[in-house]
Chains A and B, each alone.
Chain A
Amino acid sequence: MKAIIFDIRSFSVHDGPGIRTTFFFKSCPLRCAWCHNPESHHPGIQKVTGTYKIGQSSVPCFKQVGEIITLNQAISKAEADRLFYEESGGGITLSGGEPLMQADFVIALLEAAHQLDIHTAVDTSGYAPESVFKEVITKTDLVLFDLKIMEDAQHKKFTGKSNRLILENFKWLMRQKTEVIIRIPLIENITDTMQNLEAIRAVLKSTKAIPRIDLLPYHQTAYNKYKQLDLTYGLKQLPNYPIEKQQQIKTYFNDLAPVVSIGA
């Protein structure tokens, strides 16, 4: 069994508890305007031209965005940092892109990790067929679930898709035993409008208790990636998310979870 991923990152410390190894899967059904992993957009392996900087000169080279990974390779990558997981209560996180786009592989990897006593987290937008979503959720220890925009028309405008499926899945998720961490991207005038924040707050109040909310303030670092991939970046002009506002929003959500953290 194989999957297409674009990165594996060890010592990942913001994608769930402890020290983790995060697998970034290619392919995503959404096109969020602020997306900072544009490598995931194309579902296959891409060749882009890049350069190796060598002293003052640059040597042109082809760089591959994406690679094929077998289940066995993924498992041995997952196992490599086991001692770090054990020491820190960490594990592996499957992120993307949207990992549920390669659900068969994800499920197999989760099952294997479970067999090996490795803690698992899935970082998902929630945009996946109900049956797929349900199967993945039952196999993972933790879900990192994004709540982006609650109003459907706005959601469509900034992500390219309706949020109906996402919210249906979310509703179901919150009735399950699986642990959930909520992640809210903070994008000025897009996700941080009073109306949107209130709507998120209302949804969270009406569901089961959550242990943690991660606020993910917008940062500009993705611009170079878009350039390299020859993609246009809609938010080029947007500055990094203001720090004072981050604090205000943190205060706004503070009573909803024992931990409300800023940053990823």
Chain B
Amino acid sequence: MNKRIQNLRQLSLDAVPAISAERAILITEYYQKYAKNQPSVAIQRAEAFRYLLKKKEIYVHELEIIVGERGPAPKATPTYPEISLHSLDDLRMLDQREKVSFKVDKTTFETYRNQIIPFWEGRTQRDRLFAAMSENWIKAYQAGVFTEFQEQRAPGHTVAGKRLFSMGLLDIIEEIKQVKQNKSASEIDQNHWQELEAMQLVAEAMIAYAKRHVEALETLLQRTTDPARGAELEEIIEVCKRVPAHAPQTFHEMLQHYWFIHVGIISELNPWDSFNPGRLDQHLWPFYQKEMAAGTLSRDRAKELLQAFWIKFNNHPAPPKVGVTALESNTYTDFALINLGGLTDKGFDAVNDLSYLILDVIEEMRLLQPSSMVQISKKNSDRFIKRALQIVKTGFGQPSFFNTDAIIQQLLRQGKSIEDARNGGASGCVETGAFGTEAYTLSGYFNLTKVLELTVYGGYDPESRQQLGPKTNPLEFCESYEVFYQQFARQLEWFVTIKLKGNRKIEALFAEWMPVPFLSLFIEDCVQNAEDYNAGGARYNTSYLQGVGLGSITDSLAAIKKWVFDLRQVSPEQLVKAIRHDFVGFEELRAKLVYESPKWGNNDNEADQQAIRVFEDFFALVDGKPNHRKGFFRINLLPTTSHVYFGSVTGAMPDGRLAHQPFSEGISPVQGADVNGPTAVLQSAGKLDHVRTGGTLLNQKFAPEFFKDEEAFQKLIQLIRTYFRLDGHHIQFNVVDAKTLRDAQKNPEQYRDLIVRVAGYSDYFNDLGTDLQNEIIARTAHAAG
């Protein structure tokens, strides 16, 4: 990387994340002064957006070539009080907590005390949401049976497609006008009309926002004495005069165009997974080719622009949450996951020279954000996998590997067209989506193992000491495993039903109160339908429920089956007593449960059959159920970090796990339980029907010694290929030895740069809670046989 990039990168790394009250102040001002007179919520939201972009400070650093910041400076992170309101205690905690902290200065604190909190208290989206939930929902939520994604952040979970890169905002405004003209008055109701008005308003607001950057750059140009930088500034000014108003025509314009829109989307609201350019090597490829041939772009310049683009992502930490969740789930990562490789919409191998160039960028930049992945189809070459593995080997947890052919099958099963499916990929952690055409929101993590715990006690929760589920037969009163499993199935149905019902209401609340006209401009067919992204305007609308702890529940069921019912060596009373005492005084029994029971991840059908059964039942309860946005609920199996939180609210389990310890993550085996090597893990994982999910997460840790020679790369390529032959969705590799990690725990100061794979994303090891650190250390490091 050249000097400029080195400097910008260092600035980004050194920038201290802080809370900026700028957005909160401007949005509050708008609502206080102007919101009342507006004809609709959509117009209110659009005008608030315009007010924000008009008044917010413009930040341009003298070294930059890609411009635009969400806050007044890198890592100055706004808040979204209309969604959820930070209390003074929240701000204090964010400021003072040891990990993933955000500095809060005195002025911000006072502004919150005097202006923000008094205005928003009791009227946030979060307040509306909790008020709308049933008593059963609240009880289950508080006990940790499930989480709710939309209680602090807006739905988003979406990715840019071809539309964003091929249209300027003026083209989109033209389209809006056309839709207005084509729809006769009878055909379009007031709501849709207002939505179109709001869309036009925000498109114009963004063009004006870009113009403010042109002015800021012109001021810089006047001040600069360096002729080379002067020429460069003129070039950037030209770029910002064209995009995002017009469709981008060059590589540079493309990146700047995307970035303006990205900043717009993450300023409008705080959508989950921020936003994401998706198939970057595909979108940029025609421009790269054209300009390389014309001699107007060199490989080095392309690389520099990409690196500058990368730094922009790193400047934007995830906006911090409020309340308990600020303590338990935290990362600076905002889950923009760049996709490389895969197939073109006509089904050709999509890997190109730029795919490799971007991999070089990832390797050199070594930044937390954006995340990166490679899509691997059977048509992609081994060479591409190998290049990605070389980066994995450096121990930074990126990129991860996704199965394009499985993703396409998943999308086709859900009813997408083949082109939309091939233009798709995975975003966030591992979530499948049709990029640019689908609103696929995650609704919450679902604690499968907690439901099993409740089943053992007949629906009673020993942790929160209340009857949470329906009264079913406790384990002691089940005469057979079959009967016991039926009790579990009843509990599962009860809680899934509560969860889905809640989410339909929440989707309705977002459609009503939090339209996102700006995001809607870029996802097909919101404009054509004159319908907001949050109201079901997109071509496809999916709601995912994420099952968590598959390994833990599988091993627990298998242990109950083996010891209590098949062998009848352990009485149900004895087992329940042992787990209620957290195995204190039951060490021998615990050893049996841990070491002599069938475990998920060993290609052992005794265990794997339980996993398949839970999967099938969870699937049947969720898949195909209607959501509020004219789409359907689907499942995926991923945890992010919720397996730690879910573990913390669940007592000891029959798999020998102690109370409050983390569960297994994704579809990975319980930490340390996979003793038959990676092929057995993949065989177990391959028994699930990934095609009927919207993503699964499998984490494999390898000791760095494994990557010593060329042959090892070949074996890993074959491992990936075989897993993908089994329709496996995703696999990621952590290449760090346990010794290094333990040392990092002891001497965190020496490992400030240590990035590890967590679950679907990478994070700084030092920023992880001790529980999660321990959990990562405990994951089996597969050595070669």
Contacts and interface: CB of A to CB of B under 8 A. Distances in A.
Contact of B718 (A15, A59, A88, A263): A88
A80 B683 contact: yes
Which of A9, A87, A88 has most chain B Cβ within 10 Å? A87
Given A12-B785, A19-B718, A88-B715, A54 B590 contact: yes
A69 interface: no
B718 A18 contact: yes
The secondary structure that dominates the B interface is helix
Interface string A62-89: 0000000000000000001101100110
B684 to A, nearest CB: 11
A9 B782 CA distance: 12
Interface string A31-73: 0000000000000000000001011010101000000000000
Contacts of B718: 18-19, 84, 87-88, 90
B14 interface: no
A81 B677 CA distance: 11
B680 A10 contact: yes
B726 A83 contact: yes
A172 interface: no
Interface in A212-256: none
A37 B113 CA distance: 70
Given A14-B785, A88-B715, A261-B709, A80 B590 contact: no
B722 A83 contact: yes
Nearest to B602: A10
Contacts of A80: 603, 680, 683
Contacts of B595: 52, 61
B188 interface: no
Of B587, B656, B683, B785, the most chain A CB neighbours within 10 A belong to B785
A61 B603 contact: no
Nearest to B705: A263
B784 interface: yes
B134 interface: no
Q: Tell me which of B590, B591, B709, B725 has the highest count of chain A C-beta atoms within 10 A of its own C-beta.
A: B591
Nearest to A61: B591
A9 B709 CA distance: 21
Interface string B653-686: 0001010000000000000000011111001000
Given A19-B718, A59-B587, A13 B711 contact: yes
Contacts of A61: 591, 595
A14 B784 contact: yes
A11 B588 contact: no
B722 A84 contact: yes
10 contacts: A11-B785, A13-B784, A19-B719, A84-B722, A87-B721, A87-B725, A88-B722, A261-B709, A263-B708, A263-B709
Interface of A: 9-15, 18-19, 22, 52, 54-55, 57, 59, 61, 80-81, 83-84, 87-88, 90, 261, 263
Interface of B: 587-588, 590-591, 594-595, 603, 656, 658, 676-680, 683, 708-709, 711-712, 714-715, 718-719, 721-722, 725-726, 782, 784-785
Given A11-B678, A15-B785, A87-B721, 5 more contacts: A13-B712, A19-B718, A19-B722, A22-B785, A87-B725
The 8 nearest A-B residue pairs measured at CB = A88-B718, A12-B785, A52-B591, A11-B677, A59-B591, A9-B785, A87-B722, A10-B679
